[in-house]
Structure 1
Amino acid sequence: MGDESECCKKGKVYHTFKCSPPISHHTKAILTLNSFEKGGDGDNTPVLALTTGWFNNKKRCHHNITIFGNGRRVHAMVVDECDSKRGCDAEHDFQPPCPNNVVDASKAVWKALGVPKRDWGESDIHWSDA
């Protein structure tokens, strides 16, 4: 898997979410891969987008969280929302809404966790506020 975009399919119904699972000291999530630089891959900066409920109306924006995965941990800055309320439109690059349990991370996060490149795409992780 990679950071290719999945486009919405005509006629398919996509689930939307206004909230996310409760946050604990080790909140379970799915780590996904995202590009954060225009035309780039965010190779060197550990940044991420949180699904709508966890993004919490920008309250976590520009704050670090700690991601635990692959036997390691990394601190990364929340810089965006992975919108789980809307999608399939031009504003969202015609991508489906995010699930309600996503930490959408740059390549730098995957590298810091030591995940082999062939396994990048989706991974079970835990996270907490830093």
Structure 2
Amino acid sequence: MKNIINIQTAIIMLLIFSMEVNSCMPSGRIRAKKHPPNYCNLVGDDICCIQGRIYTTYNCSPPSITHNSGSYNALLTLNTFEGGGYGPSQCDHHYHSDKLLVVALSSGWFDHGNRCLTNITINNEANGRSVKAMVVNECDSTSGCDKESSYLPPCGNNIVDASEAVWRALEIPINDWGELNVTWSDA
């Protein structure tokens, strides 16, 4: 009887863990339409939506790595906050120098602006470096492929979109800039 209870407990715990890991499922799909000629912004390595391709959207972001740890696995990406085709940051309606430690978070983590102008700590597990950066914008994972999004695809649900200063502070060689697996937490 004791073994049956232990097996049942293990199954329940596994189900709970599975639900936490999979609790951020896609919320929809967008079929990209053709963008106007010469309209699509190509800032840095941005890739415009491809006509007819289907892109996944998310209203959420992955939960913390372990229950209530407050630490999240993320993909660090490189972006500019100085303008150049993008609008001002959502949190303060200003542009920010790429020399400042600033980031945009995927929609779920951005939490309808509740993390605006707060600091997060980004950890580069590969070299042990960490940096605090201010959240100034949303990396929209709920929509894309339209004029408002400069015909760019929706962000993934696990993105920390960072300024050049963040990449430098994490001591990432310039040749490796673009995408990097990191963890982050509220500072």
Report if aligned partners of 1:48, 1:78 keep a CA contact under 8 Å in 2. yes
Give the distance between the partners of 1:3 and 1:46, measured in 2 at CA: 18
The normalised TM-score by structure 2 is: 0.66
1:51 lines up with 2:95 in the alignment: no
Cα distance per residue 1:89-114 (max 9 Å; x no partner) = 11111100000000000000000000
Q: Which runs of 5+ in 2 are unaligned?
A: 1-42, 85-94
Percent identity of equivalent pairs: 54
Who is 2:173 aligned against? 116
Compute the displacement of 1:59 (Å).
0.1
1:9 lines up with 2:50 in the alignment: yes
Which of the pair has more CA radius of gyration?
Answer: 2
What is the count of residue pairs matched by the alignment? Answer: 129
1:3 match: secondary structure: coil
Give the distance between the partners of 1:41 and 1:55, measured in 2 at CA: 18
Q: Counterparts of 1:1-130 in structure 2 under 5 Å? A: 3-23=44-64, 24-39=69-84, 42-69=97-124, 70-130=127-187
CA distance 1:121–1:42, change in 2 (3 Å): farther
Higher share in helix: 2
Higher share in strand: 1
The normalised TM-score by structure 1 is: 0.94
